[in-house]
Amino acid sequence: MKKTVFTGVATALVTPFADRAVDYDSFGRIIDWQIESGVDALVVCGTTGEASTLVDREHIDTIAYAVKRAAGRVPVIAGTGSNDTVHAIYLCRAACEAGADALLVVTPYYNKTSQRGLINLYTEIGDSVDKPMILYNVPSRTGMNIAPETYAALADHKNIVGIKEACGNISAIAETASLVGDRLALYSGNDDQITPLMALGAVGVISVLSNVLPKETCEICRLFAAGRVAESAALQLRLLPLIKALFSDVNPIPVKEAMAMMGFCSAELRGPLCRMEPEKREILRRRMIEAGIELK
The helix or strand, by DSSP H or E, that contains position 163, with its residue range, turns out to be: strand 160-165
Q: Annotated active-site positions, please?
A: 136, 164
The Cα 37–Cα 261 span in angstroms is: 18
Find the distance separating the first CA and the last CA of the chain, reported in whole Å. 44
The Cα 177–Cα 73 span in angstroms is: 30
The Cα 150–Cα 35 span in angstroms is: 34
How does pLDDT run across 141-195, given as a tens digit for each residue? 999 999 999 999 999 999 999 999 999 999 999 999 999 999 999 999 999 999 9
Mean pLDDT of 65-74: 98
Written in H, E and C, the secondary structure of 173-227 is HHHHHHHHHHHCEEEECCHHHHHHHHHCCCCEEEECHHHCCHHHHHHHHHHHHCC
Residues 264, 26 contacting (CB under 8 angstroms): yes
pLDDT at 106: 98
pLDDT at 296: 86
Written in H, E and C, the secondary structure of 80-124 is CCCCCHHHHHHHHHHHHHCCCCEEEEECCCCCCCCHHHHHHHHHH
pLDDT at residue 17 greater than cutoff 90: yes
Residues 7, 11, 12: CA angle, nearest 5 degrees: 125
**pTM attached to this predicted model:** 0.97
Type of residue at 272: P
pLDDT at 2: 79
Average pLDDT score over the chain: 97
The Cα 17–Cα 254 span in angstroms is: 15
How does pLDDT run across 78-112, given as a tens digit for each residue? 999 999 999 999 999 999 999 999 999 999 999 99
Which domains, ranges and CATH numbers included, belong to the chain? 8-228 (3.20.20.70)
pLDDT at residue 225 greater than cutoff 90: yes
CA atoms within 13 A on the CB side of 108: 21
